[in-house]
Structure 1
Amino acid sequence: MSTINPLFVDSTKPIGDKVVTNVELLAVSLQPGESLFFELTDEFGFEQKYEMKKLETKKSVKYTTEVWLKYQHPIHYRFLVVAEGAEVQTSAMRDICAGHIISEKWEPCAAGEFVKSKKSKRKSTQSVTVAQPKDKNAAPVIKATAAKPLCEPHILSQIKSLFDDLL
């Protein structure tokens, strides 16, 4: 019984347990000074980046990294090529449920899609405040402020998840 059948291990693992996910990207070539990153966003919107390492064999060259994820929980991910701190190329954003492996071939997205994905990631932090005037007959004054809300959805779940990771 020196080897364990991975199907048996998967079938007994409850959803939500932590697993090591091996991430690999094939058919990518980097220029000198460029780095490859795996960027993921979990179900709570927590974003993480992992640098990928080059692994050369006689048959192929691939980039790999290992990530701890909650088994069968949804994530969004993409691959980034970064040079001098700026994103040069990116793959399209993908959605999956976390498992033991993510293996893909490099497919950079078109320039228009790259711009769209960068704009969609920015959150608007502008909120609208309605001030009631002292005179009851006057119209209310609407002010736009750049404040963030005090309570974001799922913040307690995010904190709990972070503590679970530490323990």
Structure 2
Amino acid sequence: MTAKMKRPPLGTLTEKGIGFRSSWGRLDTTPPQFAKMLGARDATIFVYPPGTPKRMRSLLALRQLWTTWTGAIIATTLIILAAITGGLWPGTIFALAALTGVWAIVAAATGKTHQRTRYVRARATPSGPAGEVERFEQIAFQLDELDSQPELTAVEHELLWGHIYDQAH
């Protein structure tokens, strides 16, 4: 018998369009408002290589945030820097240089781990499911089981994480 998890199951989070981050990786979903507009809901489970340290997981989250919100980040930075530098062109040049520098540093720091990260995608559309739905559900179930066992030692956790990582390939 497994203990109660501190979070809802991944299937519930997927249905509600709520993303989630954990030691093993993350769940990305289409937010409900976008799912309604697009007529589809996408969900992706990313499983990091076993033993990925917390700092690297944070950098990977920053890298993912960059790719998701690039337009908003650039626009906000441009507005702020244009106000500080006193003009649109100097602010634009400075903002693009700063953002490119930050992205290059994060990309270089996370490159190997990002390439080794495994993922499983599923998509729900009005015409039915698409992608790796069965495998997505299987991996989600195993990750739920992993998260519901707080009594595991670090070594046992890593071994189970590694087994799930191998299946998410």
Q: What TM-score do the two structures reach when normalised by structure 2?
A: 0.25
Q: With a CA cutoff of 8 Å and minimum separation of 6, indicate the structure with the bigger relative contact order.
A: 2
Higher percent of residues as helix: 2
Rg larger in 1 or in 2?
A: 1
Q: TM-score, normalised to structure 1's length?
A: 0.25
- Structure with the bigger percentage of strand: 1
